[in-house]
Amino acid sequence: MSAGNQLLTVRNISKAFGKAVIALADVQFDLNRGEIHALLGENGAGKSTLIKVLTGVENKDQGIIEMDGRQINPRSTQEAQNEGISTVYQEVNLCPNLSVAENIYIGREPRNRFGTINWKKINADARELLDKFDLHINVTKNLDHYSVAVQQMVAIARASDIDAKVLILDEPTSSLSSAEVDKLFQIMRKLREEGMGIVFVTHFLDQVYEVTDRITVLRNGKYVGTYLTKELPRVELVGKMIGKDYAGLKEAMNAKWPEEAERQEKETFIKLVNVSSPGTVKGFELTVKMGEVLGFSGLLGSGRSETAKVLFGIDPISEGEVKVKNEMAHLHSPLDAIRNGIAFCPENRKTEGIIGELSIWENIILALQVKRGIFHKISRKEAEELAKEYIEKLQIKTPGTEQLIKNLSGGNQQKVILARWLATDPEFLMLDEPTRGIDIGTKAEIQKIIMDLAGRGMAVLFISSEIDEMLRCCTRMIVLRDMKQVGELNGKEISEEAIMRIMAGGEAS
């Protein structure tokens, strides 16, 4: 590595939040021109914090940042941008009340001759830019019309279009499906060719090996090392990330359903007949049985999340009927659904999941408290116990139960939301992208939990853009397209090709 090629160097960065949390301790990092550099580590390892410190969102306690050999000290994203660092943060940080096009160009709007904003050009440019990502959406619509995945693509498009020397992507792929990821990689490679340095955070090791040149690993806020991707075998990488042997994890990751998966027919938990909801699903038929893990797959915007929302009483059912355990059920509100034993872990963690200003324990007990009713307050002691139990079970990294959830790392927030629903002890658990942003170790853990629960008779609906994960867990798979069911696969029939075939061709099984 020639020193002249160095674009960004970071030395001895430390950052603590209060006394209890040392997010970064003496971390170093360097980025070359024309490379894609993976920044890896478990949930809460300090990746996002490092990025925030680099871009001036958080003040560092100590350390030096150099750009092109010149010391910089950005105090806001704006200053970082001026220094040539463009960033996509972990949580989608765009303005839902503005149009897609505007979100891409705000702050650097093209002007016309009179110095006023050229809206025609903005829209045209945005359309062109998103075409490159194969995203054909109406750019004049407000951003909040679209799902997280689309929003994430928009954020990436925005950052990649900013004229910068360094592009930082903090878990950009966490809710993208493989097609979109491929598109993203194409673009990243192109930018690399143009000499840009890219920092890439992800929990998907496949992706690391697919695009990155070098890897820096953090663990518990400490610098572990920097390696050439080619020279670091996967097993070793994981070892460095989790700080212990890979073998056990491997076992967990490969957990499969026990062979007698020829499991006997169980009773039906919920049955939808010809259910429609205004503006979303139409004429939906679905049966979910106890003890099965049902997967929904489909492309972006195919209606997976929408269907789950209808099932949970968030979107109103205008037609059709729902039976829970063979009895008519009226799912007018989430409370009805919860009372019927349904739980739903929504896909948009920031807006639909976390209650940011509340502590971890409050976030965990919230759904259970709702289920029990307002007058049966969960005692502080019980809450504490519950919280501790799940912190341990899901390995939530936090200094204590009192920590505000907004101060947790993204992956850990996701775990808290998961804990919230597991705590309600549901009969039917709906998980929309539950592993979004979760590290491999915990992911395996969650898979195990899901299978475990299903094994004990719980019905699970699993929605994930990560097909591998779905293949591993699901006992049945329903493929959606345009808010409609277009195919169903059972047990052994489930395979990537089969799903792809249905998604593409519409050949129902």
Partner 1 sequence: MRETWNRLSEKQYFRPLIIFIIILLFNGIVSKGEFFTLSIVDGHLYGRIIDIVRNGSKLMILAGGMTMILATGGTDISVGSIMAISGAIACSIVNGNIFPSFNGNVAAAIILAILAGTVSGIWNGFLVAKIKIQPIVATMILMVAGRGIAQLITRGKIVTITSETYYFINGGYICGLPFPLFIVLFLVGFLVLFTGRTAFGLFLESVGCNPTASKYVGIKVDRMLLAIYTLSGAFAAVAGLIESAGIKGADCNNAGLGIEMDAILAVAIGGTNLMGGRFSIPASVIGALIVQSITTTVLALGVPAAYIRVLKALLIIIICLSQSKQFKDLVIKRKMINRKVVGS
Partner 2 sequence: MEQTGKRKRVHINNISLVITVVLFILMFLFGSVKYNNFLSLSTFLNLFNDNAYLMIAAIGATFVLISGGIDISIASTIAFTGVSSAFLLERGVPAFLVILLMLLVGIIVGCTQGALIHYFKLQPFIVTLAGQFLMRGLCVVISERSIPISDPFFKTMALGKVAVRLGEAKAWNGKIYYYVFILLIVFAAAVYTLRYTKFGRCLYALGGGETSASLMGLNVARTKIAAYGISSFCAALGGIVFSFYTLAGFGLQNLGLELDALSSAVIGGTLLTGGVGTVAGTVVGVMIEGIIQTIVTYQNLNTWWTKVTIAALLCFFIVIQRIIAIRAEKSKGKNE
Ligand X SMILES: Nc1ncnc2c1ncn2[C@@H]1O[C@H](COP(=O)(O)OP(=O)(O)OP(=O)(O)O)[C@@H](O)[C@H]1O
Under the rule (CB under 8 A), what is the footprint of partner 1? 312, 314, 333-335, 337-338, 344, 346, 351-358, 362, 366-367, 369-371, 373-378, 420
Residue 346 sits in the site that holds ligand X (CB under 6 A): no
The least distance separating partner 1 from the CB of residue 369, rounded to whole angstroms, comes to 5
The least distance separating Mg ion from the CB of residue 184, rounded to whole angstroms, comes to 18
The least distance separating ligand X from the CB of residue 290, rounded to whole angstroms, comes to 25
- Whether the CB-CB separation of 171 and 411 falls below 8 Å is answered with no
Euclidean distance between CA atoms 312 and 332, whole angstroms: 8
Q: Pick from ligand X, partner 2, partner 1, none: which does 370 bind, CB < 5 to 8 A by kind?
A: partner 1
Select 283 or 334, whichever has its Cβ closest to partner 1: 334
Burial 264-275 (b: 16+ CB within 10 A, else e): eeeeebbbbeeb
Residue 137 sits in the site that holds ligand X (CB under 6 A): yes
Count residues near ligand X (CB under 6 A).
37
Contact residues for 417 (Cβ-Cβ < 8 A; gap 6+) = 345, 346, 349, 353, 354, 363
Q: Pick from partner 1, ligand X, partner 2, none: which does 174 bind, CB < 5 to 8 A by kind?
A: none
Select 18 or 258, whichever has its Cβ closest to partner 1: 18
Q: Pick from partner 2, Mg ion, partner 1, none: which does 138 bind, CB < 5 to 8 A by kind?
A: partner 2
The least distance separating ligand X from the CB of residue 113, rounded to whole angstroms, comes to 34
Q: Pick from partner 2, Mg ion, ligand X, none: which does 397 bind, CB < 5 to 8 A by kind?
A: ligand X
Binding positions for Mg ion, 333-372, rule CB under 5 A: 347
The least distance separating partner 2 from the CB of residue 93, rounded to whole angstroms, comes to 4
Select 302 or 401, whichever has its Cβ closest to partner 2: 302
Select 81 or 413, whichever has its Cβ closest to ligand X: 413
The least distance separating ligand X from the CB of residue 129, rounded to whole angstroms, comes to 15
CA end-to-end span of the chain:
54
- Whether the CB-CB separation of 127 and 139 falls below 8 Å is answered with yes
Residue 21 sits in the site that holds ligand X (CB under 6 A): yes
Select 78 or 333, whichever has its Cβ closest to partner 2: 78
Report angle CA 7, 106, 138 to the nearest 5 degrees.
115
Closest CA to 467 of 437, 500, 508: 500
Euclidean distance between CA atoms 29 and 23, whole angstroms: 15
- In angstroms, the Cα distances linking 18 to 289, 362, 397, 399 are 48, 21, 16, 11
- The burial class, CB within 10 Å (0-12 / 13-18 / 19+), for 179 is middle
The least distance separating ligand X from the CB of residue 4, rounded to whole angstroms, comes to 30
Say how far residue 47 (Cα) sits from the centre of its chain. 15
Q: Which residues pair with 431 in a beta bridge?
A: 345, 462
Select 89 or 105, whichever has its Cβ closest to Mg ion: 89
The least distance separating ligand X from the CB of residue 21, rounded to whole angstroms, comes to 4
Q: Contact positions toward partner 2, by CB under 8 A?
A: 57, 76-78, 80-81, 87, 89, 93-98, 102-103, 106-107, 109, 116-117, 138, 140-141, 158, 278-280
Binding positions for ligand X, 113-132, rule CB under 6 A: none
Select 95 or 247, whichever has its Cβ closest to partner 2: 95
Q: 351: which DSSP letter?
A: I
Q: 3: which DSSP letter?
A: G
The least distance separating partner 1 from the CB of residue 503, rounded to whole angstroms, comes to 28
Closest CA to 39 of 213, 236, 187, 193: 213
Residue 310 sits in the site that holds ligand X (CB under 6 A): no
Which is it for the CA torsion 409, 192, 75, 97, positive or negative?
Answer: negative
- The burial class, CB within 10 Å (0-12 / 13-18 / 19+), for 428 is buried
Q: Pick from partner 1, ligand X, Mg ion, none: which does 334 bind, CB < 5 to 8 A by kind?
A: partner 1
Q: Is 316 helix (H, G, I), strand (E, B) or coil?
A: coil
The least distance separating partner 1 from the CB of residue 490, rounded to whole angstroms, comes to 31
Q: 172: which DSSP letter?
A: T
Q: Which amino acid is at 385?
A: E
- Whether the CB-CB separation of 427 and 439 falls below 8 Å is answered with no
Residue 17 sits in the site that holds ligand X (CB under 6 A): yes
Letters for 273-302 (x = contact with ligand X by CB under 6 A, - = none) are -------------------------x-xxx
- In angstroms, the Cα distances linking 175 to 179, 306, 348, 464 are 12, 16, 10, 8
Binding positions for Mg ion, rule: CB under 5 A: 48, 90, 305, 347, 409-410
Which positions touch ligand X (CB under 6 A)?
Answer: 17, 21, 23, 41, 43-49, 90, 136-137, 146-147, 149-150, 298, 300-306, 347, 397-398, 407-412, 437, 465
